């Protein structure tokens, strides 16, 4: 995202996107900032060289953001009050194949716990890079 936030905001405006989840922001901190073109980025990151997640919201929805939950540099969410319901948007970035199994387990446990905390009156949207695999094993898919 470094140096590219205005370009991304312009693309979102052109495509009329109101909410976007981003991964690998590589920004340190738990903040929110205007990125241009009427968009605000809520983000969370620990290191500037890897990971980091964010959620970009169009400015007309920013007043309706009632809660920002930053779980880790791989999972965060926002709650948007939408009249009769609340929309919870989760942005997540799963560990890659080369990461240790304990980091992968921690990520999936945290994501599962957070999803289970969604109330019955909320609508859930998950956007992310989940680094999924097809099948039970990690081998046999070389081609």
Phi, psi of 68 (to 5 degrees): -125, 125
Q: What is the pLDDT of residues 55-101, one digit of tens each?
A: 999 999 999 999 999 999 999 999 999 888 899 999 999 998 788 88
SS3 content of the chain, % helix, strand, coil (to 5): 20, 40, 40
Report the share of the chain in percent with pLDDT over 70. 90
Residue 91: helix, strand or coil by DSSP? strand
Average pLDDT taken over every residue of the chain: 90
Q: Is the pTM of the predicted complex or chain greater than 0.95?
A: no
d(CA 89, CA 71): 13
Query: Which architecture does CATH list for 5-129?
Result: 4-Layer Sandwich (3.60)
pLDDT at residue 133 above 70?
A: no
Rounded Cα gap, residues 90 and 78, in angstroms: 7
Average pLDDT over residues 19-48: 92
Domain ranges of the chain: 5-129
Q: Is 48 a residue whose pLDDT tops 70?
A: yes
Q: Which of 135 and 39 is assigned the larger pLDDT?
A: 39
């Amino acid at each position: 995202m470094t140096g590219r936030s205005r370009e991304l905001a312009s693309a979102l405006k052109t495509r009329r996107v109101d909410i976007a989840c981003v991964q690998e922001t590589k920004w340190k901190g738990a903040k929110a900032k205007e990125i241009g073109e009427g968009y605000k980025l809520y983000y969370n990151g620990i290191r500037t060289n890897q990971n980091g997640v964010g959620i970009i919201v169009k400015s007309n929805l920013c007043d309706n953001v009632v809660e920002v939950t930053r779980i880790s540099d791989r999972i965060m969410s926002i709650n948007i009050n939408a009249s009769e319901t609340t929309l919870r948007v989760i942005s997540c970035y799963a560990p890659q194949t080369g990461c240790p199994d304990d980091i992968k387990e921690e990520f999936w446990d945290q994501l599962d716990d957070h999803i289970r905390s969604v109330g019955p009156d909320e609508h859930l949207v998950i956007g992310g890079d989940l680094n999924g695999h097809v099948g039970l094993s990690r081998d046999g898919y070389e081609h």
